Amino acid sequence: MKKYSTLGSPKSKISGLARANLPLALLILSVDIVIYVGAVAIILLSDDLLIKAACAGLAGFMISQLFVIAHDAAHQAYVPNKKLNAFIARLCFLPSLHNYSLWLYIHNQIHHGYPNVKNLNSWSPKSWDEYSAMPRWRQAVERIYRSPLGFGPYYIVERWFKEKIYPKKHIPKNYHQRAWKDVALLAVYFVGFASIISATAYFHHTSIVSGLFWAFLVPFIVWNYAVGMTIYLHHTHQTIKWYESLSEWKSSVHSAEEIATHVKYPFWYNLITHNIYLHPIHHFNPRVPLYRLKQAQKILTEGSNNKMHIYQFRARDMLRTLSDCKLYNYARHEWLDFNGDLTSRLEENKTFEIREAG
């Protein structure tokens, strides 16, 4: 994994924040679990469709927050104990049906080792030549993926189904045995969860199909849209570069500021999403736990002389990014639309003007 540098960043201060707080971590975990379980319980026990729909949305949102905790624990950042981190990661990955062992390789090793390298990361943009060579049906799929409707389908098909359930041939053999054990864990969880939903529906004299739909399927879809959008915003923007080869990436990328965005949200939203959008600091030091990211990101931003990919989230700006960032010219580092027309040319220098929040 590359050790990033940053202009003037006090590494010792950031390293000092890479420490876990067990009581705080367990409190956050407990609150998230209670809210998620409570939402599912209300779905199963309520006969009001509006209440079911609202709680299904809440359950999907809470799957996302449990996933953020699992992500932290998988980096050995969440609590100050290796085995407890592994336990919490596996536990919190269950609602999103993610394989812990595969995550350690795909996310911790590959993504953190080589972010923004083509075909090694989520949302790797296609080139114009690749897109032109696709059959029409596959071009239509690509157009859906790179639209507001595509966050969920992209993550479900291209990331979760292809890489996050069971080990494929490209996964190193030393991960396979552990990964298959986690497959068994996910299967037991899924069967158990479906059984609880079915039994509750049976004794409550309601439809089992309806119970599975509102308590499992809808939250799972909501969660996939949330994670798909989050990862997209982390590494896709008119000012973010992507690289076609590892050799180019190794010779070009020198700091965490170059490969990730810090999307600014109100304090309350960062609080309930566990600071997941403070992303440059996470690539700079993934051992900083979610409850210390705000302080660490501030230090990193100040140390980079206010030169970083920072922007205030606005729906219209996200739609503009979706419109501009369809395809990528890796040779010239340009974003293109689906007609092959230039939408954004990235400069060769390694510093970036901050976009002020407004």
Residue pLDDT, tens place only, 97-121: 999 999 999 999 999 999 999 999 9
Q: What is the 3-state secondary structure (H, E, C) of the chain?
A: CCCCCCCCCCHHHHHHCCCCCHHHHHHHHHHHHHHHHHHHHHHHHCCCHHHHHHHHHHHHHHHHHHHHHHHHHHCCCCCCCHHHHHHHHHHHHCCCCCCHHHHHHHHHHHHHHCCCECCCCCCCCECHHHHHHCCHHHHHHHHHHCCCCCHHHHHHHHHHHHHCCCCCCCCCHHHHHHHHHHHHHHHHHHHHHHHHHHHHHHHCCCCHHHHHHHHHHHHHHHHHHHHHHHHHHHHCCCCCCCECCHHHHHHHCCCHHHCCCEEECCHHHHHHCCCCCEHHHHHHCCCCCHHHHHHHHHHHHHHCCCCCCEEECCHHHHHHHHHHCCEEECCCCEEECCCCCEEEECCCCCCCCCCCCC
Question: What pLDDT does residue 70 have?
Answer: 98
**Cα(157)–Cα(160) distance, integer angstroms:** 6
pLDDT at 348 over 70: no
Selected residue with higher pLDDT from 310 and 41:
41
Domain ranges (residues) in the chain: 11-345
pLDDT at 349 over 50: no
pLDDT at 355 over 90: no
The token duo for 146 is 């790179």
Could you read off the pLDDT of 229-238 as tens digits, one per residue?
999 999 999 9
Question: What pLDDT does residue 302 have?
Answer: 84
Contact 294, 280 (CB under 8 A): no
Q: What is each CA distance from 313 to 210, 226, 234, 244, 267, in whole angstroms? A: 36, 15, 12, 28, 13
Side-chain half-sphere CA neighbours of 332 within 13 A: 11
The token duo for 60 is 């999907």
Identify residue 31 by its one-letter amino acid code.
V
The token duo for 150 is 């595509």
Question: What pLDDT does residue 258 have?
Answer: 82
Question: What pLDDT does residue 352 have?
Answer: 43
Question: What pLDDT does residue 8 have?
Answer: 47
The token duo for 177 is 């045995």
Question: What pLDDT does residue 221 have?
Answer: 98
Could you read off the pLDDT of 137-169 as tens digits, one per residue?
999 999 999 999 999 999 999 999 999 999 999
* Residue 8 backbone class (left: φ over 0; alpha: ψ -120 to 50; beta: rest): left
Question: What pLDDT does residue 240 have?
Answer: 93
Question: What pLDDT does residue 106 have?
Answer: 96
Identify residue 15 by its one-letter amino acid code.
S
Could you read off the pLDDT of 191-227 as tens digits, one per residue?
999 999 999 999 999 999 999 999 999 999 999 999 9
pLDDT band at 61, cuts 50/70/90? very high
Contact 6, 303 (CB under 8 A): yes
The token duo for 14 is 């950031």
pTM over 0.75: yes
Least confident of 167-176, 251-260, 313-322: 251-260
Beta bridge partners of 310: 262
pLDDT at 7 over 50: no
pLDDT band at 5, cuts 50/70/90? low
Q: What is the mean pLDDT of the chain?
A: 92
Question: What pLDDT does residue 305 have?
Answer: 65
Question: What pLDDT does residue 307 have?
Answer: 66
